[in-house]
Amino acid sequence: MKKKLNTKEKFIETASRLFEIKGYNATGLNEILEKSGAPKGSLYYHFPKGKEQLALESIHLAGEKIKKNISESLNSIENPVEAIIFNIENIATIIDNEQKTGDISISLIALETYITNELLREACEKIFTSIEDIYAGKLIESGINKDKAYDLGSSIAAMIEGGITISLTKKNGDSLRVIAKQIHNLINM
């Protein structure tokens, strides 16, 4: 059974979903209010700094979900190469079935706000860095040199983010599957 969301959680979940679908700039507070079903007066009670604060909390929520999903996927298989391939193929399947980035990427809001909003850019940067660190950590656990592991973690995260964008554009996860096939070549163990 899914737990009932409180008003603040409703705003964050609704905003996160709308930012994913429409983007930050195309999503207005009135639409968030309407879709959340929450009372108007409670928006500024919970988010006195308005849309930016709501977006920041939405980014944090999305980031936590993404990091959790990656960690669970990587931890399900001991071999780091196979674990990373498994994770990429899972993302490809999500794109095949759902055609959306929910719980797999924050790239849309990152691309949309990196020039115009330093606070949101920094929040996205922290999430991307955390994702790179998760991949690097998995590689370090298997005995790969720390410096090499962090370089590989950064490369893998960048390839996946690019693959997500291309896969969404092509409306299938095939670009990610091509990346998954190259992981053996990238990680020389």
**pLDDT-derived band at 3, boundaries 50, 70, 90:** low
Query: Which ranges constitute the DSSP H helices of the chain?
Result: 7-22, 29-36, 40-46, 51-75, 80-98, 107-113, 118-141, 146-170, 174-186
Please determine, for residue 148, whether its predicted confidence score (pLDDT) is greater than 50.
Answer: yes
**Residue 176 has what pLDDT?**
97
Token readout for 98 is 């759902």
Mean pLDDT of 21-38: 90
* 15, 18, 53, 58, 113 from 30: Cα distances, Å: 11, 12, 15, 17, 20
* 12, 22, 62, 171 from 158: Cα distances, Å: 27, 23, 18, 19
**Residue 56 has what pLDDT?**
95
| Reported pTM | 0.89
Contact in structure between 134 and 74 (CB atoms under 8 Å): yes
Q: What is the mean pLDDT of the chain?
A: 91
The 10s digit of each residue's pLDDT in 116-144 is 999 999 999 999 999 999 999 999 999 99
Task: Answer with the residue of higher pLDDT: 99 or 72.
Answer: 72
**Domain at 7-186: CATH code:** 1.10.357.10
